Amino acid sequence: MAAEDACVQTITYVPGYPVTEMAEALGAEISVNEKVALEIALGSSATGRRSMVLVKQLGMNLLADPLVISATHTIGSGIVVLAGDDLGPRGSQAQMDSRYFGLISDLPVMDPADPSALYHSILEAYVLSEKIKAPVIVRATSRLFEISGSSPERRALPPHGIKFDRSIWDLTALGRGQRYQDEAFPLAEDASEVTSLNSLRISGKIGIIASGCPARLAENLDASLLVVGYAYPLPWRLIKNFLHLHDRVIIAEEPGPFLERQLRAIEKVFGRLTGHLPMGPLDIQDLQRALNMDLGMNKASAPKHGKDYERSANKGHKSICDDCPFSSLYKALGKIGAIVTGDAGCSIRAVREPYSSVDLVYGLGSPPSVASGLAGDGRGKGIAVVGDYGFAHSGFQGLINAVWKRRDILMVLIQNGVAAQTGGQEVPDLTKVLEALVPVRFLNFPEGEKDMKNVEKALKDVMAIKGSSAIVARGKCPRSRY
């Protein structure tokens, strides 16, 4: 709704939990990676079209380069970067707090508390983006996507059509930074103070400052409540006044102490850093417990995990699907005796029993580069197992580097034609490009390659080829939509 009411014309995304569903509902265009997704939006904005980019938290790392540059470079029409933070995490390798990109890029970050606030945040983000001539980040957590709420009162933003103003090049890089700090950033600070997304309730001498979904948890607790609509820049005037009115203030946010770190020098502020709240996602009992604690103590001890960390043996884990055409390949990889690096696609499912054939997983597209660093441990080439989306995402550059720097690897490209782990989105076929770089052998799964011994022999044969080499493992994923 917000994208429609803001007349957004270009929407790009990279699939991943928790943004995939929303991106597909918006009819967003998939990109090979997050940097490309933002760069398309920047180009589109420069020509007068409002744009939106949807990525998951870890994807923010990929687009950080153009994001940071865009603040002082300036843009045309508004850009919203919607960052989906996976609390837990449940669908990612690591939990991350995208609000820190405000501090890194100096761009505003809005942190809506519920779906209605998300709608209004996106509209306000476009208005602010066009005022400061820079993208605005809207952070939405997995918890936010799960909340159902009443429909917001809709309003339409007039179409804008602002194009990039190249007079910015009259300024040096230093001058562009000075302009941003003197003219643009103060507009974001003002917006943070006056936004209708802030709310205030005064009740007693203990208060809660909340950002994002924890604001809803704190709604009915017996304490004052200041909800901030912007996580960066913070509404300092409102916060100072709130602190002045209260003896003790708890910071309710998730997953980490982003606001609290900015306020930690103030003795009356309590939260995770003082041990009054646990790390990670919050629940209402956590806040209730903190309110009941002795807030006069300097350091409390919120419940800790001790050594009782969540274990895959107890919780269960996703393995390679029972009907996976590539199961003989994952078994054979475990017999080769080399270190195998996989990515955040299907191959991460082979790290545990019954396969235990993939050893290292440093993220989507990482295998060719990680395998490049494995050579020299006496076990032959490092093996990089990469999905076809991971290869297009960033694995391709890793292979180019391996060939360029003669870091010999065996790359196994799982060519199932889809990004299987994020819902089966279509991916490009880069096998012709691969053949231009290294010798390639094609194996078809499962037909002809059901026998693990045959696959093991093929892996050894291709591994023995001098220089980098590749196997393209072709098969149709039963989960494919195509």
Q: Name the residue nearer to ligand SF4 (CB basis): 183 or 426.
A: 426
DSSP-derived secondary structure for 322-388: TT-TTHHHHHHHTTS-S-EEE-TTGGGGGSSTTT----EE-STT-HHHHHHHHTTSSSSSEEEEEEH
Read off the amino acid at residue 449: E
φ and ψ of 96, to 5 deg:
-140, 155
Cα–Cα dist 75/231, whole Å: 22
Nearer Cβ to ligand SF4, position 441 or 479?
479
Supply 449's token pair. 């390659």
Q: Which residue has the tokens 């007349």?
A: 7
Residue (269 or 329) nearer to ligand SF4, CB: 329
Residue 442: CB minimum distance to ligand SF4, A:
17
For ligand SF4, the closer of residues 360 and 418 by Cβ is 418
Supply the minimum distance, in Å, between the C-beta of residue 421 and ligand SF4: 7
* Residue 150 DSSP class: P
| End-to-end alpha carbon distance in the chain | 28
* DSSP state letter for 30: E
In angstroms, give the least distance from the CB of 313 to ligand SF4.
21
CB of 289 to ligand SF4, least distance (A): 41
Site of interaction with ligand SF4 (CB under 6 A)? 320-321, 324, 326, 346, 349, 416, 420, 477-479
Q: How far apart are CA 133 and CA 84, in angstroms?
A: 23
User: Closer CB to ligand SF4, residue 447 or residue 461?
Assistant: 447
CA distance 240 to 243: 5
Torsion of CA 443, 449, 452, 456, to 10 degrees: -20
- The smaller minimum CB distance to ligand SF4, of residues 76 and 365, is found at 365
Q: Which residues pair with 29 in a beta bridge?
A: 12
Q: How far is the CB of 347 from ligand SF4 (least distance, A)?
A: 9
Q: Minimum Å distance from CB 426 to ligand SF4?
A: 14
Minimum CB separation of residue 459 from ligand SF4 in Å reads 18
323 vs 435 by CB, closer to ligand SF4: 323
